[in-house]
A and B are shown apart, each in its own frame.
Chain A
Amino acid sequence: MSSRRAPRGEYIETDTGNKVARKATLVGTQNIMLGGKTVIQPEVMIRGDLIRSIQSSTSSSAAGAPPNNTAVAIGRYCFLSRGACLRPPGRHYKGAFTYMPLRIGDHVFVGLGSVIQAASIGSHVHIGARVVVGEFAIIKDYVRVLDGTVVPPNMVVPSFTIIAGQPARVIGEVPEGGHEAFELRELYKTVGNNPHPAPS
């Protein structure tokens, strides 16, 4: 590192510690919630513009409460690799088409070029490269999705599962000693305008 702080780094670092690449495409940023300390690499796309067009309960609009327009909610210490795409799932609901929010927990890694259209992804989830997570899939905590997996729409993946294949099937169980490997604190430090080297 020759210069202490580049005048214009590759990443925008927010007050809550998010590191968002300038070359990432975030559409509808007002509908994207980041929990903090999340890394968004270049060429990532997040479709915050695909908001719910039908509110869940019809009475809430009458009560005057502001509609909840969150399209994509991401927790802390998530890592979205280059080329990943987060897209809220959509479906017909009471005769009309609407998007539903995509929620992601903490310590979720999304690999190179993977497309996520899940309804929810828990915490401590590792999604490999070139993975497709279909619409309204639900991935619980401590799940490992191997490279190239296609998770069909509506699939539920319970905790401590390793899945792979097209379509995804359960190929193993995350062992008791494998929980810590999902932590992304160290990885977070290795990226940004002043990255630390990866721990040896």
Chain B
Amino acid sequence: MAPLPFSPYTFIQCPCSDSTLLARPADAKSPTGADAEEDERTFDPRAPRSNYSLYPLEYLLYCEDCHQIRCPRCVSEEIATYYCPSCLFEVPSSNLKSEGNRCTRSCFQCPICIGPLSVTTQETRHPDANLLSADNAATPHSGGFSLTCSYCHWSSTEIGVDFDKPNGIHAQLAKIRNGGESRLTAKERKERRKELSHRGDSAAAAAAREEIEEQVPDLENQFANLKSFYNSQLADPTAADNGLSTLGDLGFSSPSSLSRIMNLYTGGKISDNKAKSRLGAIREALTPEEGLLVANLDEAALISQLHQSEHCDTASMAQITSQPPNLGEPALHGASRFTSSLRPIPHLLRTKRSKRCPVCRHIISKPEPKVQTTRFRIRLVAGSYIPSISIKPLTLPGPSGSSSSNPSDLLISLKPVHYLLTFKNPIFETIKVTLATPAATPGRFPSKVTVLCPQFDIDANTDVWDEALKDNDRSDKSSRNSGGTTRQRRGTEAGYQLEVGKIWERGRNWVSIVVEVVPASLRLEDGGMLREDEDILEIPMFVRIEWEAENAGDDGGIVPGAGGKDKDQKEKRELAYWCVLGLGKIKQN
């Protein structure tokens, strides 16, 4: 397969990556060097830190109060809504504490391939049976239901799990072990036990009781046993130190320290005077009913199973990590490593989030909380404040053509190429753009860069209606020159002269300029290897935008000396940032 064609890109650096803006004294001594030095240095897009501060324009937000770009790394997020991505039902945040962060309806993913599982009747596997029955609609389901993957056709029947009802699968699954054996949840066990003790000590009851206790001590039951045991110990002031008091004087077994630890987790008061006054130690669990679990260190069965299985029978890391916590699995060495015992994965919930500016705390993005709506109440995206930059290889036809223009073509070392950078102004004011690039790109292979026109104005983004009218005008003429009347071309058709200091083309709210690059030679004297992405021609560019805005009067504008006295007066604004232009790949020789 041919390598993917290179598509040019523009990444913009968020100011949060600038250590001088982070008012943390610790950063002054950071290994990146002194601040003064930092200012002098050209931004290096290949520096390890740069990866974390460069974003495509779409990913950036803008704070209108700070007049600054904000990125996904520096905004603070607040969750507005939790919802299931499969059934699209909203989950109240109060449910999250009790039910966890997964859908508790019937939304499951395949443990083998992650595809969606759907509830199917076992009967649909025999379509003949359907045809034979006289009245299909009235036939009650006798065969039960199972979860089936619509992609790889895995079925929950493979782990011996099927369901009585087609809904509430989550609750049903919690009570079924692999193989189909039903399992009592901790609550049910407690109730069952209580019931038995009321009935008295008949032989039948004793047998039933044994049956409950014989169940595999799974995570949930063991935790419940331990919890009730410790609670009873705490409640019993006369509890003597007659258990396994190996931790003796360290104080772990005293009721007061135990209640203190439990309070840490339940958020209660730390200084519980009652508990403190209660001296003396408590004992540890002695029976399985109290939560004692003897570790089974004999893994011979597991090893022999591994011997008999093939590589594909063992679950991959991805499969194991996407398994939900299974409260029904045996404690300690319970988690299985075989694909044959993986259980359906209830869908993780997703969120809708609003975002705040990290500096002034104003909200800069806020979605409508309803799951099914895509509207935003606030959405301050950087794309409506700073110009977009698009990159296109420039073709100069004729005998002196300087470059081949196919974007998928590799750049030839030392052969000059030209690129057209188009800046589009999104705001309703004329902006002045000033560009600066280093003469050579940073790194081991410096390519030469010349911006033919580093300073220019872009006209304001006029009203949408103007644009629409112009569009109609254009379609009538249906001419090749669709840029409108303001368009003017600097390179003449005959000569295609590239003039320094002149823009290439101008439109309603956009300007294109030419950048000339001489790709570096990728030859290494010591015959070493190229590092990752060293053949990609990336140029760092510093962009400064200046414009005059209506004085809103309420903001501490970033430009000093702006006439703040007169409200009608226009206010000078500026915004400057680094960006990286990925132009192409240099051919390796």
Instruction: Write the residues of chain A forming the contact surface with B, with a CB cutoff of 8 angstroms.
Output: 1, 4, 92, 94-95, 134, 140-142, 150, 152-161, 167, 169-170, 175-181, 189, 194, 196-197, 199-200
Which of A150, A158, A180 is the one whose CB lies under 8 Å from B85?
A158
Task: Verify if B475 is at the interface (C-beta below 8 Å from A).
Answer: yes
Q: A95-B136, A196-B475 are in contact. Are A154 and B57 (CB under 8 A)?
A: no
Which of B118, B151, B383, B392 is the one whose CB lies under 8 Å from A167?
B151
Q: Are A92 and B130 in contact (CB under 8 A)?
A: yes
Task: Verify if B32 is at the interface (C-beta below 8 Å from A).
Answer: no
Task: Verify if B72 is at the interface (C-beta below 8 Å from A).
Answer: yes
Q: Are B365 and A176 in contact (CB under 8 A)?
A: yes
Question: How far is A159 from B375 in the complex, measured between Cα atoms in Å?
Answer: 11
Q: Which of B115-142 contact A (CB under 8 A)?
A: 115-116, 118, 124, 127, 130-131, 133, 136-137
**For A4, what are the chain B residues with a Cβ–Cβ distance below 8 Å?**
478
Q: Are A156 and B113 in contact (CB under 8 A)?
A: no
Task: Verify if B58 is at the interface (C-beta below 8 Å from A).
Answer: yes
Q: Are A156 and B365 in contact (CB under 8 A)?
A: no
Most A C-beta atoms less than 10 A away, residue of B59, B474, B480:
B59
Question: How far is A50 from B371 in the complex, measured between Cα atoms in Å?
Answer: 33
**For A156, what are the chain B residues with a Cβ–Cβ distance below 8 Å?**
85-88, 116
**For B420, what are the chain A residues with a Cβ–Cβ distance below 8 Å?**
200
- What is the total of A-B residue contacts with beta carbons within 8 Å? 98
Which of A1, A141, A170 is the one whose CB lies under 8 Å from B480?
A1
Q: Are B58 and A178 in contact (CB under 8 A)?
A: yes
**For B381, what are the chain A residues with a Cβ–Cβ distance below 8 Å?**
176-177
**For A197, what are the chain B residues with a Cβ–Cβ distance below 8 Å?**
480, 482
Q: A4-B478, A154-B118, A156-B116 are in contact. Are A92 and B88 (CB under 8 A)?
A: no
Q: Are B350 and A158 in contact (CB under 8 A)?
A: yes
Which residue of chain B has the shortest Cβ distance to A175 in the bound complex?
A: B59
Task: Verify if B61 is at the interface (C-beta below 8 Å from A).
Answer: yes
Which residue of chain A has the shortest Cβ distance to B422 in the bound complex?
A: A200
Q: A92-B124, A95-B137, A200-B390 are in contact. Are A152 and B150 (CB under 8 A)?
A: yes
4 A-B pairs closest in CB distance: A95-B136, A177-B381, A177-B58, A152-B151
B418 to chain A, nearest CB (A): 15
Which of A155, A175, A177 is the one whose CB lies under 8 Å from B116?
A155
Q: Are A175 and B58 in contact (CB under 8 A)?
A: yes
**For B131, what are the chain A residues with a Cβ–Cβ distance below 8 Å?**
95
Which of A141, A150, A155, A199 is the one whose CB lies under 8 Å from B374?
A141
**For A196, what are the chain B residues with a Cβ–Cβ distance below 8 Å?**
474-475, 478, 482
**For A160, what are the chain B residues with a Cβ–Cβ distance below 8 Å?**
374
Q: Which of B453-509 contact A (CB under 8 A)?
A: 471, 474-475, 478, 480, 482-483, 505, 507
Task: Verify if B389 is at the interface (C-beta below 8 Å from A).
Answer: no
Q: Are B374 and A94 in contact (CB under 8 A)?
A: no
Which of A150, A155, A176 is the one whose CB lies under 8 Å from B379?
A176
Q: Chain B, interface size: which category?
A: 35 or more
Can you spell out 16 A-B residue pairs with CB atoms less than 8 angstroms apart?
A92-B124, A95-B136, A134-B150, A154-B116, A154-B150, A156-B85, A158-B88, A159-B374, A170-B85, A177-B59, A177-B381, A178-B58, A181-B58, A200-B392, A200-B505, A200-B507
Q: Is the interface of A mostly helix, strand, loop or mixed?
A: loop
Q: Are A177 and B87 in contact (CB under 8 A)?
A: no
Q: Are B512 and A200 in contact (CB under 8 A)?
A: yes
Question: How far is A60 from B512 in the complex, measured between Cα atoms in Å?
Answer: 61
Question: How far is A158 from B72 in the complex, measured between Cα atoms in Å?
Answer: 21
Question: How far is A125 from B137 in the complex, measured between Cα atoms in Å?
Answer: 37
**For A189, what are the chain B residues with a Cβ–Cβ distance below 8 Å?**
471, 475
Which residue of chain A has the shortest Cβ distance to B87 in the bound complex?
A: A156
Further pairs besides A152-B115, A176-B58, A200-B505: 18, Cβ < 8 Å: A1-B478, A1-B480, A92-B127, A153-B151, A155-B115, A155-B150, A157-B85, A160-B374, A167-B115, A175-B72, A176-B376, A177-B58, A177-B59, A177-B383, A180-B383, A196-B474, A199-B482, A200-B510
**For B382, what are the chain A residues with a Cβ–Cβ distance below 8 Å?**
177
A138 to chain B, nearest CB (A): 9
Task: Verify if B60 is at the interface (C-beta below 8 Å from A).
Answer: yes
Which residue of chain B has the shortest Cβ distance to A123 in the bound complex?
A: B374
Question: How far is A200 from B422 in the complex, measured between Cα atoms in Å?
Answer: 7
Question: How far is A150 from B376 in the complex, measured between Cα atoms in Å?
Answer: 30
**For A167, what are the chain B residues with a Cβ–Cβ distance below 8 Å?**
113-115, 151-152
**For B61, what are the chain A residues with a Cβ–Cβ distance below 8 Å?**
176-177
**For A179, what are the chain B residues with a Cβ–Cβ distance below 8 Å?**
379
B524 to chain A, nearest CB (A): 35
Most B C-beta atoms less than 10 A away, residue of A92, A159, A179:
A159
Most B C-beta atoms less than 10 A away, residue of A134, A142, A161, A176:
A176
B347 to chain A, nearest CB (A): 9
Question: How far is A178 from B388 in the complex, measured between Cα atoms in Å?
Answer: 13
Q: Are A169 and B114 in contact (CB under 8 A)?
A: yes
Q: What string of 1s and 0s marks CB contacts (under 8 Å) between B493-533 and chain A?
A: 00000000000010100101000000000000000000000
B87 to chain A, nearest CB (A): 7
Which residue of chain A has the shortest Cβ distance to B149 in the bound complex?
A: A152
Which residue of chain B has the shortest Cβ distance to A158 in the bound complex?
A: B85
Question: How far is A154 from B119 in the complex, measured between Cα atoms in Å?
Answer: 11
**For A194, what are the chain B residues with a Cβ–Cβ distance below 8 Å?**
475, 478
B46 to chain A, nearest CB (A): 24
B113 to chain A, nearest CB (A): 6
Q: Which of B79-126 contact A (CB under 8 A)?
A: 83, 85-88, 113-116, 118, 124
**For B371, what are the chain A residues with a Cβ–Cβ distance below 8 Å?**
158
Q: Are A94 and B116 in contact (CB under 8 A)?
A: no
Question: How far is A91 from B85 in the complex, measured between Cα atoms in Å?
Answer: 24
**For B512, what are the chain A residues with a Cβ–Cβ distance below 8 Å?**
200
B117 to chain A, nearest CB (A): 9
**For A180, what are the chain B residues with a Cβ–Cβ distance below 8 Å?**
383
Which residue of chain A has the shortest Cβ distance to B107 in the bound complex?
A: A156
**For B130, what are the chain A residues with a Cβ–Cβ distance below 8 Å?**
92, 95
A164 to chain B, nearest CB (A): 12
Which residue of chain B has the shortest Cβ distance to A186 in the bound complex?
A: B471
Which residue of chain A has the shortest Cβ distance to B139 in the bound complex?
A: A95
Question: How far is A160 from B471 in the complex, measured between Cα atoms in Å?
Answer: 30
Question: How far is A160 from B114 in the complex, measured between Cα atoms in Å?
Answer: 20
Question: How far is A167 from B382 in the complex, measured between Cα atoms in Å?
Answer: 34
Q: What string of 1s and 0s marks CB contacts (under 8 Å) between B289-309 and chain A?
A: 000000000000000000000
**For A150, what are the chain B residues with a Cβ–Cβ distance below 8 Å?**
151
